Amino acid sequence: MLREACLYQKLKKPKGAVRCLTCNHYCLISPGKRGAPPQRGICGTRENRNAKIYSLVYGQAVAENVDPIEKKPLFHFMPGTFSLSIATVGCPFQCKWCQNWQISQAPKPDKQIEGFELSPQKIVQDAIAEKCQSISYTYTEPAIFLEYALDTMKLAKKEGLKNIWVSDGYSSKEALTLVAPYLDAINVDLKAFKDETYRKYCGGRLQPVLESLKTIKKLGIHLEVTTLIIPAINDSKKELTQIAQFIKKYLGENTPWHISRFFPAYQLLNLPPTPVETLEKAYQIGKKAGLKFVYLGNVFNTEKESTFCPKCGQEIIHRENYNIKIQNLKIKSQKGFCKNCGEDLNIRL
């Protein structure tokens, strides 16, 4: 279903061109040559038709699943609950290690949009029927199906459901501001701390991601950060220290940092899985930088998957994969505190 985009700007020159304002590519989409297919933005899901931008993925889901919220991963937002997870095809990035490349890269270049009809109303109904407490916009970048997500988020809010984004952090400031009243939590991939890495491996830039993270923090949206550590690409002590220090300085010491293990995927099949020792090193770097909540992902380690009070050391949430046992958690005004010492754990319920 075609839907006119929320965020775009008509340009006087060149005639018929429009600029998409949805993500930080800010694509200038030309009208295209007469007789040729309409031109699309980098994501492959936004098209210039008669000097207007249209979303090609509205109501066209490519995935709908019930996931543990910890799979997003979110460890400090509604722990132990389930989230209805949806996605469409498309992405503003072309990450060479993408685990969902079959759907993220599906509409590029100018290919037919894949998916099945799923209205915002039906998504909310499904979430309620499955006894989910939230809806997650995930698997691909939610910003590229902004209109679809936003309509769903508004309906979800009316039904008392929470809204979650799992994002690459390339949403524009305009898009983040637009969804902020309805967005309760977000996990952002901070893929590296070198602009060269973003340009070479993802087709983007570092600075817009950093600015998006700062914007999310200012908007008061619950934020958690994930870094997939890839051998020889972003695993140096210097770079991991820079990431940890950025989180501490600009996002706060209570911001959870998820350190995830890489396994060969898509166009990086030649690299080995991340050594567990590298993850352990990153964990210690995060702690040394002053981050209170650092977690390991894609590796079995109950101690570094679980949440401990940073003040008294009490175990608050025990995790074994997706088996969650909440203990020693005191709830006050929808916030979580340590039952033993009263420490604010930056847990939102």
27 is in an annotated binding site: no
155 φψ region: left (φ > 0), alpha (ψ -120 to 50), beta (else): alpha
Rounded to an integer, what distance in angstroms lies between the CA atom of residue 144 and that of residue 166? 12
Determine if residue 132 is labeled as part of a ligand binding site. no
* CA-closest candidate to residue 326, choices 72, 65, 69: 69
C-alpha dihedral (255, 347, 213, 176), degrees to nearest 10: 180
Nearest-5° Cα angle at 150, 81 to 128: 35
Beta-bridge partners for 60: 117
Query: What's the length of the chain?
Result: 349
43 is in an annotated binding site: no
Q: Are strands 323-326 and 257-261 parallel, antiparallel or unpaired?
A: unpaired
**Element containing residue 52 per DSSP (H, E):** strand 52-55
Residue 26, amino acid: Y
Q: Is 147 exposed, middle or buried (0-12, 13-18, 19+ CB in 10 A)?
A: buried
Binding residues for [4Fe-4S] cluster: 91, 95, 98
Binding residues: 91, 95, 98
